[in-house]
Amino acid sequence: MERRASSMEILLFTATLVAAASCSSSQAAGSKSSFDDNFSIMWSEDHFKTSEDGQIWYLSLDNDTEAFESGCGFQTKQRYRFGWFSMKLKLVGGDSAGVVTAYYMCTENGAGPERDELDFEFLGNRSGQPYLIQTNVYKNGTGGREMRHMLCFFVDKVPVRVYKNADYANNFFPNEKPMYLFSSIWNADDWATRGGLEKTNWKNAPFVSSYKEFNVEGCQWEDPYPACVSTTTKNWWDQYEAWHLSDDQKMDFAWIQRNLVIYDYCKDTERYPKLPEECSLSPWE
C-alpha cells in the first residue's frame, strides 16, 4: 500500500463524461453522501473498501484464483439521461501494465445485445510509460467507435472528444435510453498494453484505483415518464451553452487533437473502407 501511495506516477484528474456530448459549467452539489446512497457493488464485494470517513472508495485487482473474476466494480443505483457526470479517479501507480480502470455509462448491467454505452477506459502501462485513455460509443449493441489519446497530463474540463448528436434517424448517438454509471478495475493483459505484449505483473498486486467526489448534474430517470424526456428551456442541458463548446474549449480540444490522439476510428480506412456516417460531422456546429 505504501508503495502505491508514494508513487510519483499516480495520475490524478477529473474524468468527465458528458452524455449530451457537450460541455458546460457545473456547480458542485457538495453534499456528502455515503457510497450506499447512490451505488452498489457489481462483483467482488471483498475487493472494495472505503476510507474511514467513507468519502474515498478503493477497488482492487489481484490474482485471487478463488475468485471467478478478479477485479471489482460498482454502479449507480439510478439511471440518467443527459447531464454532467464527474468523479475524481486515482489510477494505479507504478507498473500498471495490463490493468484497465474503467469509467463508463451503460444502459444495462452487462454486455447485452441492445445496450447503449459510453466508455472511458484507462489502459495501464509499465512504470514511466504513459497511460492511454480509450473512449468508445455503443448504440443498440454496436460499438467500434474507439479513439485513443495519450494521457501525459490533464486539466479538468478539457474536452478530449466531441461526439455529435446530429438528430436524424439512424444517427449513431446513444441518447434514447437512460444509463447507469459504472467504475471498475480488471485485468486485460490480452489487449490493453502495447496490444497485449505487456502482461500484468502479479508480483505488484493488489492493483488499487480510487474514486471520490462523484457528482451528477443531470436528469435522473424516473419511470414511467421522466421529467427530462422532452426539451424544455428550464434545465441547463437544454440551453445553448450546454450544446456547444466555448472558444477556450475549442482551442483546448484542437490542441488535444493535434498532440495527443494516437488512434481515431474515423481515420482508419483499413478497418472502415466506408467510414461511419458520423465521421463527416463537424464537432463545432
Ligand X SMILES: *[C@@H]1O[C@H](CO)[C@@H](O)[C@H](O)[C@H]1NC(C)=O
> Rule CB under 6 A: which residues touch ligand X?
33, 37-38, 63, 78, 113-114, 123, 125, 129-130, 132, 140-141, 192-194, 202, 216, 220
C-beta of residue 160 within 8 angstroms of C-beta of residue 254: no
Which residue of the chain is nearest ligand X when measured via CB? 129
Q: For the residues of 55-117, what is the DSSP string, one character each? A: -EEEEEE---TTSSS-SEEEEESS-EEEEEEEEEEEPPPS--TTEEEEEEEESSSS--TT--E
Shortest Å, Cβ 144 to ligand X: 14
Q: Nearest distance from residue 284's CB to ligand X, in Å?
A: 28
CB 211, CB 86: distance < 8 Å: no
Is residue 217 among the annotated active site residues? no
Give the N- to C-terminal CA distance of the chain in Å, as an integer. 47
Whichever of 81 and 245 has its CB closer to ligand X, that residue is: 81
Q: Please identify, using beta-carbon distances, which residue of 263 and 272 lies nearer to ligand X.
A: 263
Please say which residue, 61 or 123, places its beta carbon nearer to ligand X: 123
The single residue of 121, 146, 198, 217 carrying the catalytic annotation is 121
How many Cβ atoms sit within 10 Å of the Cβ of residue 33? 12
Residue type at 217 in one-letter notation:
E
Which residue is catalytic, options 117, 213, 222, 285? 117
Select 23 or 100, whichever has its Cβ closest to ligand X: 100
Q: Closest separation between CB of residue 230 and ligand X, Å?
A: 19
**Sign of the C-alpha dihedral computed for residues 192, 196, 197 and 202 taken in this order:** positive
Least distance from ligand X to the Cβ atom of residue 216, Å = 4
Q: Is 117 assigned a catalytic role? A: yes
Catalytic (active-site) positions? 117, 121
